[in-house]
A and B are shown apart, each in its own frame.
Chain A
Amino acid sequence: MRITAQLKAAALIGLAAVVGLLGVGGTWALWNAVVPSAAGTVQAADFKITLNEADMAVAGTAVQVTPAGPSGPLTPGAPVYAALTVANHTDAGTPMPVIAAVAAPRITQASVPALKNALTAQVSAPTSGDCTQARYTEANTGTSATIPQDESRRFCLRMSLRDGASTTLRGQCATVAVDVTATQQSPGA
């Protein structure tokens, strides 16, 4: 009986010692110091390019352009014109020019097949003047221009009917499509 009591006492003392050691666990800590960097947050720019003031989207945006210039219907020897203005409105922190590429105009829809063959569409190099005075590329070729940040470039389209076009084309219509692509240039380029 006396041995059992001694064992119990020893166990209690041992338990108390363990609890005591755990309780003072904090004494293992050493000096330390922590400081934040306050490095902040890096933010990416947008890529805001507009075509005739409409945002160009990733998948492409169809922008309707109404021919301007000489009024009246298209007739042989009297072209009609349309302007395309591409603007670089990106908010990049470093100057970021873009290359605007205007592909060769395509006649995608014509009410009669003969109109497609008789119609010619050309694009001009960037111009600030009247589209009637612009310098146009050869048919089936495009053009391109570098547009610095916060600037724009104006391209002209000229659509004309070949001389001697058939009178059967009177009153017919066609759609001219032009693909415009803007590509970022490397910073500092």
Chain B
Amino acid sequence: MKKMTKGAIVTGLGVALLLGGGGTLAVWNDSVESNAGTLASGNLDLEAKPGVWTNGQGEKITVESYRVVPGEMLTYTQVVNPTLDGDKLQATLEVTGVETLKAHNSKNITVTEPTLTNAEGQVLPSTVLTKANTEDQPVTASTTFAFSLDADKQENTKDTWDFSEIGYYLEQQAPTS
């Protein structure tokens, strides 16, 4: 019995030693990284630079203090920078508040509908803008206000015409795939 006990203790000690040097239990293995990278979303943004009003002589005017008279044409020009950062990002740009401008038209007043133009020509609401055709290519918005010389007596003196409703709307188009 004593011999059996001693044998068991020696065997247990041997097993413990084997477990303590665990590396000796390793088998062949290997690992590699996927290099899947990180996903990043794009960006859609729109910036309007300060607009400029000019009179018929091409002089820059301060519209808050300028008083227009019959025979004059004022032009409002504004640079709009769309940001389309996305490989498949497409968007359209349009002018908002056009209806309020149309309401200004009368016998003596003609306001043109704002136009959007880039280096490739006129940008219509249906024109699809992409990163390629907007990067470093600002869009110029322009509208005119004409005061007819037909204004009789003192028609339209001291009148005001609000252009503050004009805005720009850039909207992503649904990806086709």
Where the two chains meet, the residues of A that have a C-beta atom closer than 8 Å to any C-beta of B are 30-47, 58, 90-94, 96, 184, 186-188
Contact = CB atoms under 8 A, between A and B. Distances in A.
Contact of A184 (B55, B63, B69, B166): B69
B124 interface: no
Contact of A37 (B56, B64, B78, B149): B78
Contacts of B154: 47, 58
A40 B147 CA distance: 17
A88 to B, nearest CB: 12
Interface of B: 44-48, 50-51, 53, 55-57, 61, 63-72, 74, 76, 78, 80, 89, 91, 96-97, 141, 143, 145, 147, 149, 153-154, 156-164, 166-174
Contact of B46 (A33, A38, A42, A91): A33
Nearest to B52: A39
A149 to B, nearest CB: 10
Most chain A beta-carbon neighbours within 10 Å: one of B72, B74, B145: B72
Which secondary structure dominates chain A's binding surface? Answer: loop
B173 A44 contact: no
A39 B164 contact: yes
Given A36-B164, A92-B67, A44 B158 contact: yes
Contacts of B70: 184
A36 B172 contact: no
Contacts of A31: 44, 89, 91, 171-172
B55 to A, nearest CB: 6
Contact of A45 (B55, B96, B157, B166): B157
Given A33-B45, A35-B46, A187-B56, A42 B169 contact: no
Given A30-B174, A184-B69, A39 B169 contact: no
Instruction: Name the residue among A30, A33, A42, A47 with the largest chain B CB count within 10 angstroms.
Output: A42
A154 B54 CA distance: 35
Contacts of B64: 40-41
A186 B163 contact: no
A36 B174 CA distance: 24
Closest 8 CB pairs of A and B: A45-B67, A93-B66, A39-B163, A30-B172, A37-B166, A33-B46, A31-B44, A31-B172
A35 B47 contact: yes
